[in-house]
A and B are shown apart, each in its own frame.
Chain A
Amino acid sequence: MIEFKNITKRFGDKLVLDDVSHVLQTGKTNLIIGTSGSGKTVLQKCLVGLFEPDQGEIIYDGISFTNMNEDDRKMLRQQIGMLFQGSALFDSMTVEDNVKFPLDMFTKESLSSKLKRVNEVLERVNLIGSNKKFPSEISGGMKKRVGIARAIVLNPKFLFCDEPNSGLDPQTSMLIDKLIFDITHEYKMTTIINTHDMNSVMEIGDNILYLKDGKKEWTGNSEDIIFSDNKNLNNFIFASEFLQGAKQLRMMEDKSKSNKP
């Protein structure tokens, strides 16, 4: 579980995060949603320590991350996996070497057991057969899957995903969402996903935090969103007429179900 309290972050005069508090639950897909520039990425970077918040506290499983020294942070980071928006694969390494890199750096296992583990995670993300390819030779969806494989190869307790669907077609987006959702429940990880993909919100949103202009605006799950009367949230999620229609239909279905004896 990750808890953050009163997180505030400024860049110069611009207030990007304003007193945001929330609890990210273990074994669930925790979504941080909001429009572009609402502070999602900054919040995630504060949570993993790439940015230092100006104010507030971050607590990982009851231990304060904010007050940790650098050595303890390094130890904790070995339990964190992160999938970046652009995948952030190492260009000079093959798919296999990218996934093996954390094992090379932090374990003293034999080469054969490292390769066994690499093949396990590549199989889990449906990427067997691409071991010797370079990042420049694979598609955007495959890069995301390599990114996920690299992030989970050390069995992390916490998985951060920054806009995992950006730049992907709807079908591949759904595959990535399903993969992250399944892995989260399979490995009992605390997964934190930044997204503004509405399909992800409705399909895998166990615990959702909606940010607006750097402030916490709403929390709930994907079911709660349908029935929420928060105007800003509705304008954001159901922006198109098609989605508004889908919402109305879903509400009518629920109403008719509850009216049945």
Chain B
Amino acid sequence: MNFFAHFGRYILMLKGMFSKPENPKLYWKEFMHQCSEIGIGSLGIVCIISIFMGAVSAVQTAYQIVNPFISKSIISQIVRDTVILEFAPTLICIVLAGVIGSKIASELGNMRVSEQIDALEIMGINTKTYLVLPKIAAAITTIPMLVVIAMVLGIYGGRLTVSMSGILSSESYDSGLKESFVSYNVFFALIKAYTFAFIISSIPAYYGYNVKGGSLEIGRNSTTSVVVSCIVILLADYILAALLL
């Protein structure tokens, strides 16, 4: 199927999500369940990646600063800005595209293949509203929070590694963090986080919801959804950077 046909069906799926819920209590329950699955379920991997991301970033920055006239406290500024502007929103969201994206696509794909989605439709339930909307809403709610956590832990990971390896003292690292801080960068990172959260939940939902065939197709669609999500994230990353910076 060509790009435009996929895009058209994707838009129709998004449009079809907005209908009056049959029982708002059950929809709220499903939304909270998805918040737990997506947010708390991904917290561990986000923490581990963030600390190492900040640590590696600090060590490599220190390795490249060979000029004795450049203050070492610049390391913390570089770590801070790279983590806030790029590593936390983009790298974390690319990892989450794999973790959450494949889960959403395979869950919906399995429901489609085993006729559970048909069973819900027969009951008179709008399956796009009941199954897809809570996942997207939960991703948009929780992923920016994960990105903020990633920012904090990334910067802390850098601090931990420079102080432990004796590159820079903790006090110098902290004072460097406060120098030429631009709060707009955090705002920009959050815009990216919201955009990427929508991408990594809606694209896998589309691929999972429209699986045709059996278990082989679930795997194929799941992989495709992660690949497409990553490409769209990188494209959106460039567009947002070009427009907002």
A interface residue numbers (CB < 8 A to B) = 45, 48-50, 73-78, 80-82, 84-86, 88-91, 101-102, 104-106, 160
Contacts and interface: CB of A to CB of B under 8 A. Distances in A.
B115 A104 contact: no
Contacts of B123: 77-78, 101-102, 105-106
A90 B116 contact: yes
A85 B115 contact: yes
Nearest to B19: A70
Contact of B22 (A76, A90, A105): A105
B26 A104 contact: yes
28 contacts: A49-B121, A50-B121, A50-B122, A74-B124, A75-B124, A76-B124, A77-B123, A77-B124, A78-B124, A80-B122, A82-B118, A82-B119, A82-B122, A84-B115, A88-B114, A88-B116, A88-B119, A89-B116, A90-B116, A91-B114, A91-B116, A101-B123, A104-B23, A104-B26, A105-B22, A106-B23, A106-B123, A160-B122
A106 B122 contact: no
Interface of B: 22-23, 26, 110, 114-116, 118-119, 121-126
B22 A50 contact: no
Nearest to B27: A105
Q: Max chain A CB contacts within 10 Å: which of B26, B119, B125?
A: B119
B114 A86 contact: yes
Contact of B115 (A49, A75, A80, A86): A86
Contacts of B22: 105-106
A56 B23 CA distance: 34
Contacts of B121: 49-50, 77
A11 B110 CA distance: 23
B26 to A, nearest CB: 6
Given A74-B126, A80-B122, A88-B116, 11 more contacts: A50-B118, A75-B124, A78-B123, A82-B119, A82-B122, A84-B115, A86-B114, A90-B116, A91-B114, A104-B23, A105-B23
Contacts of B23: 104-106
A102 B116 CA distance: 13
A160 B121 CA distance: 14
